[in-house]
Amino acid sequence: MYVSVTTCDTSGAPSDTGAIVGEEMDGWLSSLEGYRGLLLLTRENETLGLAFWESEEAATRHDALRTEFRERMLGLAGVTIEGVTGYDVDFARVEL
């Protein structure tokens, strides 16, 4: 499993932006092969978006589309992207 982590400056965005953006992004990403889920972590003025993929190759296959959608969606929400980084997932156990 692979995770793409997007770090965002949310200081200019309304407080309810995360849930709205998360739902929209998940709805769109779920149509892409290899997508496994999305998690948004928020604190004052910063949000981390973790998009989970079956593999790095699956994420890379859709990189241009993901970048275009992410930049358009977050720009409309008044959020600034600070960086995007990828990680291999060595272990995961989550109950929400």
pLDDT score of 68: 86
Residue 93 lies in a domain: no
14 within some domain: yes
CA-to-CA distance for 58 and 32, rounded, in angstroms? 9
What is the pLDDT, as a whole number, of residue 56?
96
Which two tokens mark 36?
A: 């496994």
Domains held by the chain: number: 1
15-63 pLDDT, tens digit each? 777 888 889 889 999 999 999 999 999 998 999 999 999 999 999 999 9
- Is residue 65 domain-resident? yes
| Residue 57, domain CATH | 3.30.70.100
CA distance 40 to 48: 6
What pTM was estimated for this model as a whole? Answer: 0.88
How would residue 13 be classed by pLDDT, with cut points 50, 70 and 90? Answer: confident
Identify whether 96 is part of a domain: no
pLDDT (0 to 100) of residue 96 = 84
First to last CA, the chain: 19
Measured distance CA(49)–CA(7) in Å, rounded? 7
Provide the residue range defining the domain that includes 18. 2-88
Local structure of 38: helix, strand or coil: strand
